[in-house]
């Protein structure tokens, strides 16, 4: 499975203690992380449908040339 290394999400803060800008930034981070995961899943599904692999060489080829 494809995995992107995303920065760790901050601990949830009480929204009542956050400024509007901080709340908006947190929403943006959550949505961006979700979009990245969604696109990765879509690419994986397309690759499986097309019979592609994460490897660019056949079994009889060496990775060292």
Write a three-state SS string for the chain: CCCCCCCCCCCCCCHHHCCHHHHHHHHHHHHHHHHHHHHHHHHHHHHHHHCCCCCCCCCCCCCCC
Q: In the structure, what pLDDT confidence band is assigned to residue 1 with cuts at 50, 70 and 90? A: very low
Weakest mean pLDDT among 11-15, 19-23, 37-41, 46-50: 11-15
Residue 2 lies in a domain: no
Residue 32 lies in a domain: yes
Residue 58 lies in a domain: no
- pTM score of the predicted model: 0.54
Residue 65 lies in a domain: no
Q: How many domains does the chain have?
A: 1
Residue 41 lies in a domain: yes
Residue 33 lies in a domain: yes
pLDDT for position 21: 94
pLDDT for position 51: 81
pLDDT for position 54: 55
User: Domain range spanning residue 38?
Assistant: 17-50
Residue 11 lies in a domain: no
């Amino acid at each position: 499975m494809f995995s992107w290394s995303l920065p760790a999400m901050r601990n949830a803060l009480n929204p009542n203690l956050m400024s509007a800008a901080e709340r908006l930034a947190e929403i943006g981070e959550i949505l961006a992380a979700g979009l990245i995961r969604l696109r990765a899943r879509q690419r994986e599904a397309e690759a499986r449908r097309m019979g592609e692999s994460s490897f660019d060489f056949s079994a009889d080829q060496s990775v060292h040339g």
